[in-house]
Each structure stands twice: as structure tokens, then as C-alpha cells.
Structure 1
């Protein structure tokens, strides 16, 4: 699992949401901020569902985006969640980004479909393209590729089949 080395951990990277999660004893790792100043958290797969519920209770009531990517050939797969708080100041919503790193040999993450219904198609797309299994998802099946498709097209170690027509025709 890709993690930030404890020797390089900087307490200044911990933002307000990370401090709140730490105060309530939720295991995570702050990864700093993106170019827009959005706080980024790294969360373990087995901790993700409880942290997602805590973030929802904190006020992050909108899952703006869920996507996934392959970090490197043979490396981790990352599922990314961009959450938005849509309560007090609609013109200045608070945002947070949570990244869940999983191994490519057994990529399993709990689904947050029951927390944010907008995760439905987004988690299905990540499953279809990268093979990340979102356990607890009620409709987890391919959404872009045919059900008979072999492999996960967005993985960096994916071998493109020679005959799309033959695989796609049946």
C-alpha cells in the first residue's frame, strides 16, 4: 500500500477536517492540499465506511465525484471521493477529497451507495474499468463494457485484445 512515510509526515498538513477526524479517533492520514486548497485524506479500505458516515454526519452531504485510477503498473489502485458540504454558504461550499488505496490483487472497498446514492453509477464505472469491487453495492455489474468483456481496460497492465469485434460481438 502506498503510504506517506512517517518521517516525512508534517503536522502542518493536517487541516480542519483531519483534526476533527483525529479528535474523534478515526484512522486516516492527511496528504495535504490540492492546487485549489482542498484537503486530501488517505483512508484505509476497512476504515472507509465509518469515515464516510462520519463525514456525512459532519455535513458533507453531497458526493460530487467518485473516480478511480491506477497509480503505476503493478502498483496500487486508488478510489477517489470528492465530497462537498452544501449547507450554510452555497456560493462557498466546503470540499474534501478522500483517497482509498487498495492492492490490485484483491481490490475491495466498501460501497458508500447507502450514504450517498450518487455513488451508484460512479462506483460501477470504477468497477467496470479498473476491477475494484465495492462490496455492499446493490447493483455492481459492468456499465460501459459488455458483461462478457474480459479484463479491466483502464489498468496500466491491461493487454488490449487483438479482436475487439469478436469479443464484443457475442
Structure 2
């Protein structure tokens, strides 16, 4: 992944934060806009912490949500951060979405707990359900699943232990 200026994406896919990140030499890749017009960026996991501090300094001081999903069976996991900037017009906040793709074999992302404290339970849940390890998180342990649970239940290739089909019950 390279900076936007070297990427094949044209200027229509670049939003304000992408242009700002390019000017300040932060490595990222613009992914365009979602259906609501929110700019989406892709960042490498090893660069996420340094890149995450930049939007915070730029004014994106509210982490609206952090979620994760499994892109495909055997594929990579994705951690998604929705950041919001509420400055001049609180009824019209600017938003940006950042996606970090991590390999299934070593799903590690630096934790942004020290930047946005609201990521605490959200990063723990993505660890609990998908096995994404947020390095540097002070309380990274399972939330709804018992500590003795084996595996990551929201991965597409997860097999439930002692699972039987409903028709087998009759």
C-alpha cells in the first residue's frame, strides 16, 4: 500500500482527510465513499497507531464505533473505526471511516485505547468474537464469552463445538 499520490485512485475518491494525510505523508489508501457520503480509508495495521493520532489532532476527537468482520472464510479480518469531528456545526458532523485489514494467521492491530478511551469495550469485543489482538490494550480479555471458550465465534470458518443440525434433534 502506498500513499495516494502513487496510487491508481483519482482525485474523485479522495476526501479532505485523505488529501490532508497525503500532504503530511501518512500512508493510506482511499476506498471512496459509503452510501452516506462518508470517506473511507484503508491503513496498514503496523501504521495504524501513528495514522490514528493524525485524525485526532485534525479534530476527529470522537470514536463513534469500532467494529470488526470476517471478509471471507479463510480470508482476512477487518477492523473498522468510525471517527467523527464535531466543530463548528454540531448538527452536521464530519465523519471518516478507517479500515484495517489483518491476516487471519496473525491478526494484530495497535490499540487506540490511549487515543480514544471509548474503544475499550469495542476492541475487546472484536478480540472476543474474531480474535483480533489489539496490542497495547490494557484490558484485552473476553467479554460475553467465557475465558475457557475455544475459538472465535464470528469467523466464517468457525465450527461450533458439539453442534448438531436441528433436523438431527427429531
TM-score scaled by structure 2? 0.90
3-state SS in 2 of match to 1:128 = helix
Tell me by how many angstroms 1:10 deviates: 3.0
Question: For 2:87 and 2:19, how far apart are their aligned partners in 1?
Answer: 21
CA displacement, residues 119-162 of structure 1 (integer Å, 9 cap, x when unaligned): 00000000000000000000000011000000000000101111
The equivalences for 1:1-170 within 5 A come to 9-162=9-162
CA contact (8 A) 2:7 2:29 kept: no
Tell me by how many angstroms 1:11 deviates: 3.1
Tell me by how many angstroms 1:9 deviates: 2.8
CA displacement, residues 85-139 of structure 1 (integer Å, 9 cap, x when unaligned): 0222100000000000000000000000000000000000000000000000000
Question: For 1:128 and 1:13, how far apart are their aligned partners in 2?
Answer: 34
Tell me by how many angstroms 1:8 deviates: 5.6
Computed over aligned residues only, the root mean square deviation of the Cα atoms, in angstroms, reads 1.6
Any stretches of 5+ residues in structure 2 without a counterpart? Answer: 164-170
CA displacement, residues 3-62 of structure 1 (integer Å, 9 cap, x when unaligned): xxx886333211111000000000000000000000000000011101110000000000
Aligned partner of 2:168 in structure 1 is none
3-state SS in 1 of match to 2:124 = helix
TM-score scaled by structure 1? 0.90
Question: For 1:11 and 1:105, how far apart are their aligned partners in 2?
Answer: 35
CA contact (8 A) 2:45 2:102 kept: yes
Count the aligned residue pairs.
160
